[in-house]
Structure 1
Amino acid sequence: MVPESKYQFDEESVAAIMHWAETEQLPKEVILSESEHIYDTSLYVRANINDIKQHYPDEFYNPAIIRLYRLKEFIDNGQ
């Protein structure tokens, strides 16, 4: 049995997370975890959005969507 994801992958939710990423004032650099150090958040966001725009709704590219959700969680938690 596949565990239910806390992230939404329907078209409306994906459009909303991309809009958030494109319009949010993001810091230049973010450390999401010990192994995830983003040196240029604008480049990170652009790369993930380009993957989503080219391949959505192919589930193979859901990690690009998840990366945006994780960035939003990090920013929303004031880290």
Structure 2
Amino acid sequence: MIIIIFVIMEYNYDEVAVQELLQWADTAELPQTLRLDQAAFIFDVRRCVESDAMCVRDHYPDPFYNPAINRLYQIREMMDKKVI
């Protein structure tokens, strides 16, 4: 029997929180690669973070780009846990 549990994180999309997240993205020390989850492996973490940050800066507050914000939050959580 396989049990799969999905945890849905509630991220903050207000302007102050997103600006703080973008500031983190600009200064974070990142590994070259990162397994984000079972389905996502990032080969160039810096390029991924820069790309997501650029999309958010260009299009915030358009909710279509919330997945980019989510990915930045997920990467930051992984870095905070030092799960590399």
TM-score normalised by the chain length of structure 1: 0.89
Identity of aligned residues (%): 37
Q: Report the Cα distance in structure 2 between the residues aligned to 1:65 and 1:40, rounded to whole angstroms.
A: 17
Q: Across the two proteins, how many residue pairs are aligned to each other?
A: 76
Q: Report the Cα distance in structure 2 between the residues aligned to 1:5 and 1:45, rounded to whole angstroms.
A: 19
- Identify the residue that residue 24 of structure 1 maps to in structure 2: 28
- Identify the residue that residue 6 of structure 1 maps to in structure 2: 10
- Identify the residue that residue 78 of structure 1 maps to in structure 2: 82
Unaligned runs of 5+ in 1: none
Q: Report the Cα distance in structure 2 between the residues aligned to 1:16 and 1:45, rounded to whole angstroms.
A: 14
* CA offsets 1:12-34 (integer angstroms, 9 cap, x no match): 10010111111011111101112
Greater Rg by CA: 2
Superposed structure 1 runs of 4+ greater than 4 Å apart = none
Which one-letter code corresponds to 1:66 in the other structure? N
Deviation at 1:53, TM superposition (A): 1.0
Of the candidates 27, 50, 57, which is equivalent to residue 53 of structure 1? 57
Secondary structure class of the residue paired with 1:37: strand
Deviation at 1:5, TM superposition (A): 5.5
TM-score normalised by the chain length of structure 2: 0.84
Matched, 1:62 2:62: no
Secondary structure class of the residue paired with 2:82: coil
Unaligned runs of 5+ in 2: 1-7
Q: Report the Cα distance in structure 2 between the residues aligned to 1:15 and 1:58, rounded to whole angstroms.
A: 14
